Structure 1
Amino acid sequence: MTRVLIADDDGVVRDVVRRYLERDGLDVSTAGDGGEALQLLGSDEIDVAVLDVMMPGPSGMSLCRTLRERSGYTLPVILLTALGEEEDRIAGLEAGADDYLTKPFSPRELVLRVRSVLRRAPAVRSAPDLTIGDLRLSTASRTVTVAGTPVSLTNREFDLLHFFLTHTDTVFAREDLLRLVWRWDFGDLSTVTVHVKRLRAKLGDRHRVQTVWGRGYMWTSAIGGPDATV
């Protein structure tokens, strides 16, 4: 059974979210602080982690960064935050989170977001591997290498790269990418902006993600095109 970790120092939040997730057929582990969450992540078979940004020692943001620093560790992470400013949400995404929700939130929406991140991995694994120059993307292992060197991507970054590589030379607005990659019909468009920025940084000069001003982004098949910026 799919297992979700809920880590939040608010017992009411943990209990309500647990009941909604269990009602949806998911197995749930809970933690009241970052230390307990880290122990569960190290000992349990967790499929997705929902972490409170401001819980005590270590915080959800710190835990997310720690998880992303582990080579090949692509556990989906959803951050819960009481901070609604755009800078705070972007900071969470830059820490490697796949998604975030701002408190107060609908427990049912959280269930939908959990289902969304969980269904991303199987959707791509059956597709063939992709090679463009010295960039290789393996759908079976969900790994990416550049000139034989592994590139650590989150699940969302991997899915975004896979989408670009299978839809080259086509412009997609941020709204389109949010719907086609994230499978959201609504959401903060800065989520897409941050993920494109991170993908470019991780691929370095091997990326071919171009900004088409006023329209969106595309992966160009042309070699040696101008550098793009967000």
Structure 2
Amino acid sequence: MPAHDEHNGLILLIDDRRDIAAMVGDYLEQRGYSIDYAADGITGLHLAVTNSYDVIVLDLSLPGMDGLDVCRKLRQEAHKSTPILMLTGRDGLEDRVSGLEAGADDYLVKPFEVREMEARVRALIRRDRRAVTDEILKVADLELDTGTMRLTRAGQELTVSPIGLKLLAILMRESPRVVSRRDIEREIWGDRLPDSDTLRSHLYGLRKIIDKPFERPLLHTIHSSGYRLADLKAESPNQAQTVIAS
């Protein structure tokens, strides 16, 4: 087995297809990762809650408990922030958004190249290990504590996936300026850029959470330019505030 480097880590693979699990597990182990495996959602959830993993690779269709339920329980009940790469045989936008809204960080559509999976796993680990300065970010009535990753709007606590929170942090720090699609993608995924629908899916999911239940939209798409987070009806030069947590 190759020597461990900074990208290697402990992976939990949850997939009822043992042939796929064996192929993926063998490849990742040859690349220096350690693998735990579960063939059903209930066992996978138990392992994910009771152990610390660098990434969870989670199939959408599982016996016992499907991947969406596993993901939701990890995020909302166990409050686990472990990066999740969801595997799905469904390629529709709504299906991808459902996975992201449940708390997945990234998704991979079957059939896939195992090398691409490893690249996505490596990117999730690298991103998750970055040090983040604790800040309180505020735009209008939206507030994000980057230390606790607690998000509220108008005092109401909101549940957003880890990548969704990172997207918000980028846009809130730059508010009210427009941030280009390329800059956002590189900040989150580095040089291993995702397919063209990934960012759009995350932003679509974010709008449903931070804007749809409220009177004024804050997340705006600027055609041919990028995205901005701002209250356009009450915009001022000091729209965004950043407070370094003590």
Give the structure-2-normalised TM-score: 0.77
- Which residue of the other structure, out of 112, 115, 125, is the alignment partner of 1:105? 112
Does residue 6 of the first structure (1) align with residue 13 of the second (2)?
yes
Gap regions ≥5 residues in structure 2: 1-7, 236-246
1:19 and 2:35 equivalent?
Answer: no
Q: Tell me the equivalent position of 2:239.
A: none
Task: Report how many residues are paired.
Answer: 225
**1:123 aligns to what SS in structure 2?**
coil
- Greater relative contact order (CA < 8 Å, ≥ 6 in sequence): 2
Q: In the aligned structure 2, how far is the partner of 1:42 from the partner of 1:71?
A: 7
Which position in structure 1 is the counterpart of 2:228?
Answer: 218
Q: Any residues of structure 2 matched to 1:24-39 within 5 Å, and which? A: 24-39=31-46
Work out the percentage of aligned pairs sharing the same amino acid. Answer: 33
User: Is contact 1:90-1:190 (8 Å) kept?
Assistant: no
Question: 2 CA distance for matches of 1:53 and 1:99?
Answer: 12
Query: What letter corresponds to residue 110 of structure 1 in structure 2?
Result: M
Partner amino acid for 2:229? W
Q: CA, structure 1 residues 71+5, in 2 after alignment: closer, same or farther (shift >3 Å)?
A: closer
Higher alpha-carbon deviation: 176-185 or 41-50: 176-185
Deviations 1:61-109 (A, max 9, x none): 2212332332743222111122334443333223332111112212121
SS of alignment partner, residue 130 of structure 1: strand
The one-letter amino acid paired with 2:65 is P
The TM-score with structure 1 as length reference comes to 0.82
**Structure 1 runs of 4+ off > 6 angstroms?**
none
Residues 94 and 194 of structure 1 are in contact (CA less than 8 Å); yes or no, is this contact kept in structure 2? Answer: no
1:31-180 to structure 2, matched below 5 A, reads 31-70=38-77, 72-123=79-130, 125-126=132-133, 128-146=135-153, 149-180=156-187
Tell whether the 8 Å contact from 2:220 to 2:227 is kept in structure 1 after alignment: yes
Residues 131-164 of structure 1: CA deviation (Å, up to 9, x unaligned): 4455433333333344555432221011101110
Residue among 165, 187, 190 paired with 2:194: 187
* Greater shift in the superposed pair: 93-102 or 168-177: 168-177
Q: Secondary structure at the match of 1:178?
A: helix
Report the CA distance between 1:123 and its aligned residue.
2.7
- Which is worse superposed, 159-168 or 188-197? 188-197
Alpha carbons of 1:82 and 1:182: their partners in 2 closer, same or farther (altered >3 Å)? Answer: same
How far the C-alpha of 1:175 sits from its partner, in A, is: 4.3
Structure 1: gaps spanning 5 or more residues: 226-230
Which AA in structure 2 matches 1:88? D
Q: Deviations over 1:29-66 (max 9, x none)?
A: 10111122122123222332111112222121221233
